[in-house]
Structure 1
């Protein structure tokens, strides 16, 4: 009888522990801007897997279009409807002007190994940006690169003069618009959902994205001429609603940070070689695709137009932008010096 009582007490204790764990379990919602299998999706699911393997919490991931466009998911995150969001500085530029620094052409190198080292070690990214995001009620958890930017066009182009008058779709980002103005084109802001149709109908003549996204979104079908100018990398940021994050227990904050680190490491490994694989898929799928890689002399014709974009960045962002740009350049110098 005594043994049965002990067993009963033990069973009740186990049940109470189980109920306590269930009561503390939460469902976290996480939205990003890309499709199944794309880089942000890879990051989100690596984060989800780590959280669910190391806690009783669950993470529901929403892909592009399931909760609206990029502006929609940011608004939902700021309002606390979503706990986590992945959004590129291309869309947060109007909210956080300093984030537009990634759109100063020829600031970032295009060498993959150097870019990754920069993101790992940059003081600007890892110390200064979190403060800027916090001012907008966002806890910046990670910034990471996705791939070199590639321009797709309706015809082959190799100089700023040949871009003259071309309507190039840009994100709703003032500095990116200034970049294409400097390059000779006509920047045309357009939501992502309208890009394929715009290229198909000639409403726009081209757009820019990393090559994996061009392949995933099948943009090469309606914009088959690929132009590598070497002007930059696509960068994105994963963040949380700050009120939500600050309300977490220390244990859950550590869980979120560890899950973010695990997702970052997994994603950095994933992107290595991804550009080459995506380009091969495009070339195998279409015999209309052309690939133009500018030589150093041709690149210089574009690069010499970059200073006016940097000047515009400084005018937009003032002292904060100046300090950020100075640190950005120091960080880049540290990873590129021999």
Structure 2
């Protein structure tokens, strides 16, 4: 099915009204805006979306319709719909945006980001790379970057306990369709296996793959622990996501509505930071209470060092993929982290 046909079909599914009537918004005319994200009801992106919606609707006559994972397709689909103007807002992680914006893959360089909650929050608040450099990169692709925010520490699930790169040899680990993430797991000794999210549970269940990575709340929400019960905390990074608008739509808004959208994204950001504080611990408790098969392994400093030693080759690959702009962004990231 080609891209143009999918976009037309989605537009018909959304409404029988014209796109102009749906998406044109002025200060004098209330509009119904549309927002899609990648997760399920109650997950982090869903909480963010509904906080954004709450602010918009409490402070204007506009309404906002939120679409969750699968309702309009997968991550690639909702990005295409946003770029085409069918959707006004989209929440998509850099794991999928990397094909569009190679520099966004920087979040998949292992052991680059801090992993303790307070440092992560400070980084997202103050980082020049996050708050100044990334909006310019997204704008080049017709997207108005409104917010980047963390969701949780990445955790590997596996068919058996592993604490060294050697123990990951020949293990097929599901990754998002992201070349740098594949490079990370190759460096870790595993066999990276790109798969759409909808196929992951079944692939783990049938041993087509032996593991995957995700924040712990997503492992709990998707019940991945049922088919991949060994949880391994490697400390290699946090899952980051980005919320953005179609740039033409945003630029056509009145100054009043642009301010409204900015304030709504800031409000949702503050709310989501509060939401994720303690979320990992509560999700892990739910998992361990639900299954006696689950094991939890937290690598010690010496074990982490064995994985960290392999990170430089991923940095080299990132610079190869992203070129001079990626090299400059990586330098700024490291400076921002140093400034913490």
TM-score bucket of the superposed structures, by smaller chain: over 0.9
Is the 1:150–1:208 contact (alpha carbons within 8 Å) kept by the matching residues of 2?
yes
May I ask how many residue pairs the two structures share in their alignment?
Answer: 316
- The question of 1:163 aligning with 2:150 is answered no
In the TM superposition, residue 252 of structure 1 has moved relative to its aligned partner by 0.3
Is the 2:234–2:299 contact (alpha carbons within 8 Å) kept by the matching residues of 1?
yes
Partner of 2:59: 54
In the TM superposition, residue 272 of structure 1 has moved relative to its aligned partner by 0.3
- The question of 1:223 aligning with 2:228 is answered yes
- The question of 1:286 aligning with 2:298 is answered no
- The question of 1:323 aligning with 2:328 is answered yes
- Of the three residues 290, 297, 306, the one matched with 1:301 is 306
- Of the three residues 129, 145, 148, the one matched with 2:150 is 145
In the TM superposition, residue 109 of structure 1 has moved relative to its aligned partner by 1.3
Separation in 2, partners of 1:98, 1:126: 14
Task: Tell me the secondary structure at the aligned position of residue 56 of structure 1.
Answer: coil
Runs of 4+ more than 3 Å apart:
20-23
Partner of 1:205: 210
In the TM superposition, residue 158 of structure 1 has moved relative to its aligned partner by 0.6
In the TM superposition, residue 203 of structure 1 has moved relative to its aligned partner by 0.8
Partner of 1:190: 195
Task: Tell me the secondary structure at the aligned position of residue 24 of structure 1.
Answer: coil
TM-score normalised over the length of structure 1: 0.92
Partner of 1:269: 274
In the TM superposition, residue 167 of structure 1 has moved relative to its aligned partner by 0.2
Separation in 2, partners of 1:100, 1:22: 37
Partner of 2:8: none
Separation in 2, partners of 1:84, 1:287: 41
Separation in 1, partners of 2:261, 2:330: 29
Partner of 1:15: none
TM-score normalised over the length of structure 2: 0.92
Is the 1:22–1:56 contact (alpha carbons within 8 Å) kept by the matching residues of 2?
no
Partner of 1:11: none
- Of the three residues 230, 236, 254, the one matched with 2:259 is 254
- The question of 1:32 aligning with 2:37 is answered yes
Q: Which protein has the larger Cα radius of gyration, Structure 1 or Structure 2? A: 1
Separation in 2, partners of 1:97, 1:328: 15
Task: Tell me the secondary structure at the aligned position of residue 35 of structure 1.
Answer: coil
Task: Tell me the secondary structure at the aligned position of residue 110 of structure 1.
Answer: coil
Separation in 1, partners of 2:278, 2:298: 18
Is the 1:89–1:102 contact (alpha carbons within 8 Å) kept by the matching residues of 2?
yes
Is the 1:133–1:139 contact (alpha carbons within 8 Å) kept by the matching residues of 2?
yes
Is the 2:26–2:254 contact (alpha carbons within 8 Å) kept by the matching residues of 1?
no
Task: Tell me the secondary structure at the aligned position of residue 334 of structure 2.
Answer: helix
Separation in 2, partners of 1:116, 1:103: 18
Partner of 1:85: 90
Separation in 1, partners of 2:207, 2:274: 37
In the TM superposition, residue 21 of structure 1 has moved relative to its aligned partner by 9.4
> Residue 290 and residue 241 in structure 1: after superposition, are their counterparts in 2 closer, same or farther (change >3 A)?
same
Partner of 1:65: 70
Separation in 1, partners of 2:118, 2:124: 10
Separation in 1, partners of 2:198, 2:223: 13
Task: Tell me the secondary structure at the aligned position of residue 60 of structure 1.
Answer: strand
